[in-house]
């Protein structure tokens, strides 16, 4: 019974990962993070990702409040936030989020307010999607731990 | 001239002479990692620890200088007990950039021998050249991978065994880079061959690269990363 549950969970996990890679939501940098997780650092990936979530939500809030300023749009500050967001997204392998940041930054460099608004909405959407999927992934992994005691290799 | 970077090596030979082969503090390299991004600090810390390095991670150039004892233009040889064997720093940081930090370190007689590695998410040749010319050991394009850290560590160990710093420390990287995308040519040609990246500010230059996502492999892939793949020395 336990063995079947473990197999099913592993299959679920692999299917989800395959989907995320295939859709370009994650890239090989995420695999690199997984490789850094072991018995000496058993929660490494979720720790990094949680820091990423925390930082990203702050950045998204800042970006939105910059864009809501009717009087003066600080494109330079937006660019700085976007650089940060791009950097951290690339460090965890969040490819699609990163690519939206790139497009967003291009719009801000052209002082294109409408383009920035569109990009921000897309960015928020992509980020939410990523967050949900990663939570799903961590949930499956938690269940795996409970079912088998296996946490790594992932 | 004091070679602080070679202290670990010297300590090792002293230990051998006195037949005190305790590996604990002679083997481990101590790296000072500088990055304003919390995510990146966490990752680089892990990459270094898993590569058997001791790590001190700080979030700014200022704090790095404080840790070294170089704060307020006051040079000091009294470190916190832990010699720094390598400094790895992000390029783009608010306040003091990695480039400015590099310059300050190379200007200090106490710390100029410590190898400095620059990390950057932007693959800009002019930036890479500038850092190498200022004395950076290596330039890593983010995201940083285990293979990047391993390469730096190997490079450091080899340097210690050789026992001397090459003065033109950019030479190895540049020569190999040349053989990757250009024919062997002197550095001046390399810098003049990228006028577009020089005339653009760092935030604009990726407008060319951005469509192809600079962090993924392309013909403009990081020279130093590429040389890692093509050279098996």
Number of C-beta neighbours around residue B54 at 10 A:
15
- Domain spans of chain B? 30-157
CA distance B57 to B63: 10
Number of C-beta neighbours around residue B129 at 10 A:
21
Strand partners, A127: none
pLDDT value of residue A51: 98
CA distance B144 to B55: 16
- Domain spans of chain A? 2-30+44-148
Answer whether B121 sits within 8 Å of A87, measured CB to CB. Answer: yes
CATH superfamily membership of B30-157:
Response regulator (3.40.50.2300)
pLDDT value of residue A48: 98
Q: In angstroms, how far is CA B126 from the centroid of its own chain?
A: 16
Answer whether A87 sits within 8 Å of B40, measured CB to CB. Answer: yes
Reported as a pLDDT band with limits 50, 70 and 90, residue B90 is: very high
Query: Is the CB of residue B140 less than 8 Å from the CB of residue B224?
Result: yes
Average pLDDT rounded to a whole number, residues B183-195: 41
Q: Which of B144, B210, B215 sits opposite A106 (nearest CB)?
A: B210
Q: Which of B39, B145, B216 sits opposite A51 (nearest CB)?
A: B39
Interface test with A, best of B36, B97, B215 (most A CBs within 10 A): B215
Answer whether A32 sits within 8 Å of B50, measured CB to CB. Answer: no
Residue in chain A lying closest to B91 (CA): A87
Which chain B residues contact residue A85 at CB under 8 A?
none
CA distances from B206 to A33, A60, B42, B124 (A): 26, 22, 26, 8
Angle between the B38-50 and B146-162 helix axes, to the nearest 10 degrees?
A: 60
Which chain B residues contact residue A96 at CB under 8 A?
none
pLDDT over threshold 60, residue B180: no
- A31 Cβ under 8 Å from any chain B Cβ: no
Answer whether A90 sits within 8 Å of B92, measured CB to CB. Answer: no
CA distance A48 to A91: 10
CA distance B145 to B187: 27
Which chain A residues contact residue B211 at CB under 8 A?
102
Is B79 buried (19+), middle (13-18) or exposed (0-12) by CB count in 10 A?
A: middle
Which chain A residues contact residue B203 at CB under 8 A?
79, 83, 105, 109
- A112 Cβ under 8 Å from any chain B Cβ: no
Task: Report the top-level CATH class of A2-30+44-148.
Answer: mainly alpha
pLDDT over threshold 90, residue B187: no
pLDDT value of residue B136: 96
Which chain A residues contact residue B38 at CB under 8 A?
51, 55
pLDDT over threshold 80, residue B159: no
Answer whether B42 sits within 8 Å of A47, measured CB to CB. Answer: yes
Listed as ranges, residues in chain A with pLDDT below 50 are none
**What is residue B122's three-state secondary structure?**
coil
Which chain B residues contact residue A51 at CB under 8 A?
38-39, 42
* DSSP codes joined into one string, B91-105: S--SSS-HHHHHHHH
ipTM confidence: 0.92
CA distance B36 to B34: 7
CA distance A106 to A82: 10
């Amino acid at each position: 019974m336990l063995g079947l549950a473990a197999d099913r969970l592993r299959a679920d996990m692999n299917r989800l990962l395959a989907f995320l890679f295939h859709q370009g939501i994650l890239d090989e940098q995420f695999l690199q993070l997984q490789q850094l997780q072991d018995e000496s650092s058993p929660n490494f990936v979720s720790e990094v990702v949680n820091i990423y979530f925390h930082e990203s939500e702050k950045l998204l809030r800042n970006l939105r409040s910059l864009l809501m300023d009717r009087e003066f749009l600080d494109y330079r500050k937006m660019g700085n936030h976007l650089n940060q967001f791009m950097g951290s997204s690339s460090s965890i392998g969040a490819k699609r989020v990163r690519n939206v940041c790139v497009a967003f930054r291009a719009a801000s460099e052209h002082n294109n307010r409408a383009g920035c608004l569109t990009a921000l909405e897309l960015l928020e959407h992509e980020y939410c999607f990523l967050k949900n999927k990663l939570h799903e992934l961590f949930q499956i992994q938690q269940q795996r731990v409970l079912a088998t005691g296996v946490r790594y290799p992932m | 001239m004091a070679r602080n970077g070679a202290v670990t090596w010297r300590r090792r030979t002293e230990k051998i002479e006195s037949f005190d082969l305790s590996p604990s503090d002679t083997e481990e390299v101590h790296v000072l990692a500088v990055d304003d991004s919390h995510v990146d600090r966490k990752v680089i810390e892990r990459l270094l620890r898993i590569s058997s390095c001791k790590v001190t991670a700080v979030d700014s150039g200022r704090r790095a200088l404080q840790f070294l004892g170089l704060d307020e233009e006051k040079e000091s040889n009294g470190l916190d007990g832990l010699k720094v064997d390598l400094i790895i720093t992000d390029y783009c940081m608010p306040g003091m950039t990695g480039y400015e930090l590099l310059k300050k370190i190379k200007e200090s007689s106490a710390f100029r021998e410590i190898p400095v590695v620059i990390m950057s998410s932007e693959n800009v040749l002019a930036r890479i050249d500038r850092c190498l010319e200022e004395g950076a050991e290596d330039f890593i394009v983010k995201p940083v991978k285990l293979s990047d850290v391993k390469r730096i560590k190997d490079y450091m160990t080899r340097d210690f065994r050789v026992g001397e710093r090459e003065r033109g420390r950019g030479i190895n990287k540049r020569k190999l880079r040349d053989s990757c995308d250009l024919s062997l040519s002197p550095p001046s040609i390399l810098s003049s061959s990228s006028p577009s990246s020089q005339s653009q500010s760092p935030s604009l230059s990726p407008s060319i690269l951005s469509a192809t996502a600079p962090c993924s492999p392309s013909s403009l892939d990081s020279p130093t990363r590429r040389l890692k793949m093509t050279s098996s020395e």
